Structure 1
Amino acid sequence: MILIRYGELSLKRNLRKKFEDILVSNIHRVAREEGIVGRVKREWGRIYFSTTHERIVAKRFSFIFGVVSTSPAIECSSELEDIESTAEVFLDDVKRHRSFAIRVRRSGTHEYTSMDVARFVGAKIKEKSDRMVDLKNPDFEIFIEVREEKAYVFSETFKGFGGLPVGTQGRVLAMDEVSAWFALRRGCDIDLSVECSAKDDTGLELLRAWACYRKVGKVELNFKEALKSNYPAIFCSFNMNELIANEGILRKRKMPVLTPLASEKVYSRDKVEKILNSISELIECVHTKCRYSEREQ
């Protein structure tokens, strides 16, 4: 079982269901294109995906825009004894460390609090592992999410890139692969300018994966020509100096020109290029795992 968490969708209350539908559709599309067999289940604020090879698939799904994080988890009932016995799966991991902590989140109506769960499970794990509890700086952590009649126990979380699901916004023009990544992160479908991007289709194929295999078009427009096009917006990877140098041209624009690198503090051009390329190795790992499973069957 994989827990899939999403964040920004909750800010769009009127469009929440539409955005969730698109996110689920994108998950289905990635699974289908990459040979991942599984089943999706939806609940308020969470998406669950049942599959084999949970860890590598959870990591892959963390690369889907709109996803805040994923965790390969074990599902059990919300009974305290069941939660505790499930948490014992991580007993050997606890024993390999000096200290541990139990982190609990709970939603719904139960006869216990989150603190009750942490104390009960923590006491049992401490007794069976002979390791100390350290809530401030533990060497190992067991996480428990209790949601109504079910609970999910896990020890690992893959941080996603957030943003909005691709397809929730309109189709825009991206002048190169780096700006295309930012456009996809904002939920836009994209057309890529082949005048300003890589000469082969390597970047295009990478972007298709980041776009959850939605259509990524190619157009032959340079920047001046793009400013005369009918796209609702253009994304380009100008830094602040390049933005100032092109001020005269930009004054004649008739649509928004978005330059995320000019003010971006988290993602530099080099960092985005590395992130862009990292998805190919991850997809290859997914393919290898899934093909091996199919041969075994």
Structure 2
Amino acid sequence: MNDEVVILRYGELSLKSSYVRKFFETMVVRNIKNAFKGENIPVEVRTERGRIYLTKTEIPKSITIMPRVFGIVSFSPAIQTSSNLQDVSMVAHHLTKNVLQKQKSFAIRVTRVGTHPFTSQDVAIQIGNEIVKATQAKVHLNNPDFELFIEIRDKKSYLFTEKIKGVGGLPLGTQGKILACIRSPSSLLAAWYLMHRGCDIVLATDHQSNEKAIDSFLSYWYANAEIFPIDSTSKDFSNLLSRIVSEKKCDAIAMDYTFEKLSESISNLAQLKKNSAVPILTPLISMTKKEIENQCKLRGIPL
């Protein structure tokens, strides 16, 4: 029996110890389920070392959700079958029959985990020869028109034709809590960079007009955050931030300062550092206005 699944891959998680990796996997699975719940889409999630699999879900909608879940490096809609080469061959023919023809070239990329009576090269040669006979297409390993990926893992095989890039980073909620000061919609980019590194966020905003942008941002990235009103022009600004940090047990403060406003940024940073008991983070410090605008567009931040 063949099933449609989505294979999710993570990067830095695989480098961690088994205990830490298990915690990170638990968090990314939680975040995936929350994202699907927010979109009212059913899903079942299972994990194996280095992979997470989504089953019993709506594949097209899943593809729109996964690029917005932190910690996922890439993902692929795939067909799952057994590790029997006859079953693998049938799925391979199904995936190639309508896209390959005599004028096209292709390559088969096989990986294998577990014990089998064949090697990865055996699979590539057998399936490749069968596809050539069926389609008259040519094999071109270096620059093919079409790639077929086959992952054989123990008793199961997964076949797919694309690897879609994810947002990467670390799973949200694995790296402490940050207070981000939102003075304009573009300030949300500073918060995004910390979320990308796995931090939960608390938001302090000094203008009601930012609230719509904040709500849109949090919804887009499937995140939750407490929001506190604050007056950034107040002489007591540093102390106000420190109170929120203390109350919400934040590990650092993220600000949107850049060197484009050098004197203002240095002066304000010095004042904040003087009065803060936690580090002040400035992820946008070296970015130009144009770079910030471009990144905001990429990250779904309305300007």
Match of 2:54, SS?
strand
Question: CA contact under 8 A between 1:103 and 1:144: conserved in structure 2?
Answer: yes
Aligned to 2:129: 123
Aligned to 1:287: none
Q: Return the alpha-carbon distance in structure 2 between the equivalents of residues 259 and 104 of structure 1.
A: 43
What code does the residue aligned with 2:292 have?
Answer: R
Aligned to 1:258: 281
1:270 aligns with 2:293: yes
Shift of 1:197: 8.4
Question: CA contact under 8 A between 1:172 and 1:232: conserved in structure 2?
Answer: yes
Select the structure of larger CA radius of gyration: 2
Question: CA contact under 8 A between 1:177 and 1:197: conserved in structure 2?
Answer: no
Shift of 1:278: 8.0
Matches for 1:33-48 after TM superposition, within 5 Å: 33-48=38-53
RMSD of aligned alpha carbons: 2.5
Stretches of structure 2 lacking an aligned partner (at least 5 in a row): 182-186
In 2 relative to 1, CA 103–59 (structure 1 residues): closer, same or farther, beyond 3 Å?
A: farther
Stretches of structure 1 lacking an aligned partner (at least 5 in a row): 280-297
Matches for 1:46-195 after TM superposition, within 5 Å: 46-90=51-95, 91-95=97-101, 98-175=104-181, 176-195=187-206
Q: Return the alpha-carbon distance in structure 1 between the equivalents of residues 64 and 164 of structure 2.
A: 6
User: Residue by residue, what CA displacement relative to the aligned partner does 1:14-38 show, whole Å, maximum 9, x if unpaired?
Assistant: 4111111111111111111101112
What code does the residue aligned with 1:7 have?
Answer: G
In 2 relative to 1, CA 264–133 (structure 1 residues): closer, same or farther, beyond 3 Å?
A: farther
Question: CA contact under 8 A between 2:72 and 2:169: conserved in structure 1?
Answer: yes
1:10 aligns with 2:14: yes
Aligned to 1:247: 266
Task: Compute the TM-score of the two structures, normalised by the length of structure 1.
Answer: 0.84
In 2 relative to 1, CA 119–269 (structure 1 residues): closer, same or farther, beyond 3 Å?
A: same
In 2 relative to 1, CA 202–245 (structure 1 residues): closer, same or farther, beyond 3 Å?
A: closer
User: Residue by residue, what CA displacement relative to the aligned partner does 1:166-219 show, whole Å, maximum 9, x if unpaired?
Assistant: 111222112221111112111111122221685342332322331x34x21112
Q: Return the alpha-carbon distance in structure 1 between the equivalents of residues 94 and 287 of structure 2.
A: 42
Match of 1:92, SS?
coil
Question: CA contact under 8 A between 2:217 and 2:301: conserved in structure 1?
Answer: no
Higher mean C-alpha displacement, 86-95 vs 23-32: 86-95
In 2 relative to 1, CA 102–55 (structure 1 residues): closer, same or farther, beyond 3 Å?
A: farther
- Report the number of matched residues: 276
Aligned to 1:295: none
